[in-house]
Amino acid sequence: MNLLIMGLPGAGKGTQASKIVDAFGVAHISTGDMFRAAMANQTEMGTLAKSFIDKGELVPDEVTNGIVKERLAENDIAEKGFLLDGYPRTIEQAFALDQTLSDLGIELDGVINIEVDPSCLLERLSGRIIHRETGETFHKVFNPPVGDYNEDDYYQREDDKPETVKRRLDVNIAQGEPIINHYREKGLVFDIEGNQDINDVFEDVKKVISSLNN
């Protein structure tokens, strides 16, 4: 099964993606995670990506399209299918993805679109914490780690600071609509109510994916 998960920053894409991967065994391809890994390893691409990410801007399309194309061509994708998270983020990326999938003979099965009220996103992003060891995402209030936890085991993303979040939301709101419309025209979009508890969102996501599986 080959899926996209879309939604504004903080909509819950990564949170749902990890549940989808556990339940359905698809490969999770998150461009944000790929850039953060490259930044941590201080590769040339990581340094370039950092200069955009720190300002809340998008990394240029040529770079982003290149890493996705390479990843989709790897062997496990044909076997397991994929869930693309955080890509495409511009209409040009959507066109590039169409081309890449058609070159590889892969068809997209669906686009999971998590809809949230943008006014809740600052709170979601400013409370987001990530477990250093596993990379798992939590929220200080909405999804805290179980039991007494040591704050030092978790970090906050640099680009989750309020100044950067505002720019990220503006950029993503401006770019998002044409992309969703592109996939709506193909009849691939499934809208999910994202303003509900994490597990309730996942129940709705599971219904959609199960209907695609049959």
Catalytic positions, please? 13, 89, 128, 157, 168
Q: Is 58 in the site for ligand AMP (CB under 6 A)?
A: yes
Tell me which of 13, 89, 168, 182 binds ligand ADP, using CB under 6 A.
13
Give the range of 54-62, 116-124, 142-150, 190-198 binding ligand AMP by CB under 6 A: 54-62
Q: Show the CA angle centred on residue 59, arms to residues 22 and 136, nearest 5°.
A: 25
Least separation in angstroms between CB 169 and ligand ADP:
11
Cβ atoms 118, 194 nearer than 8 A:
no
Q: Which among 149, 146, 172 is positioned nearest to 159, based on CA atoms?
A: 172
Tell me which of 2, 4, 7, 112 binds ligand ADP, using CB under 6 A.
7
Tell me which of 11, 20, 26, 180 binds ligand ADP, using CB under 6 A.
11
Residue 88 in marked binding region: yes
Q: Is 56 in the site for ligand ADP (CB under 6 A)?
A: no
Which residues in the 70-129 window bind ligand AMP by CB under 6 A?
A: 86-87, 89, 93
